[in-house]
Amino acid sequence: MYPKTLSDLIESFKLLPGIGEKTAERLAFAVLSFSEADCEKFSKNIENSKKNIHPCKKCGTLTDEEICSICKDKTRTKDTLIVVEDSKDVFLFEKIGNFKGYYHVLGGLISPLDGINPEDISVDNLIERIKNGKYTEIIVALKPSVEGETTVQYIKKMLEGYDIKVSKIASGVPIGAE
Ligand code: ZN
């Protein structure tokens, strides 16, 4: 039987995705061998992420500032916007590095069957943003699913009559692979 403090630490690691009992034990023992400074830094980093990271007021990407560094970057092309479901997609695009426009994170997809309507996600601010911006092309990068398609159709409908091209690409890990 592990001492309670240690089994508590093991339980904490098991909260992480893909971490089972064995790996959690290994990680907990690794922590035990940390220096005091590293240990403090480790727990501070966890605490700070929770405290300081929130969606960007403009695009919804996770940031520790009010407006994220991408939105603040005036050198980016102002005519293209990529619409994604999750912040993780933004970081993925940035890692690939060949897109130089701006982003918008929806934070979900429209799914009336699950009770998720346009007002539940960040789609109406997206439309506002597009209407007030200089965008000529909106690239929608959402999961190929009924919900994704419903969301694209909604965006297209809301932008009817505007001279803005709405195109679609597949999203998620495949982008990185292609
Ligand atoms: Zn932003």
Task: Please tell me the distance from the alpha carbon of residue 48 to that of residue 33, in angstroms, as a whole number.
Answer: 23
The alpha carbon of 126 and the centre of ligand 1 are apart by a number of angstroms equal to 12
Q: Which residues surround ligand 1, an ion (CB under 5 A)?
A: 56, 58-59, 61, 68, 71
pLDDT of residue 117 exceeding 90: yes
Provide the pLDDT for residue 14: 97
pLDDT of residue 173 exceeding 50: no
The alpha carbon of 56 and the centre of ligand 1 are apart by a number of angstroms equal to 5
The alpha carbon of 158 and the centre of ligand 1 are apart by a number of angstroms equal to 22
The alpha carbon of 139 and the centre of ligand 1 are apart by a number of angstroms equal to 16
Q: Which tens digits make up the pLDDT trace of 36-81?
A: 999 999 999 999 999 999 999 999 999 999 999 999 999 999 999 9
The alpha carbon of 43 and the centre of ligand 1 are apart by a number of angstroms equal to 27
Task: Please tell me the distance from the alpha carbon of residue 23 to that of residue 25, in angstroms, as a whole number.
Answer: 5
**Average of pLDDT values for 103-111?**
96
Residue with tokens 């091209």: 165
| b/e map 42-70, b = 16+ CB within 10 Å | eeeeeeeeeeeeeebebbbbbbeeeebeb
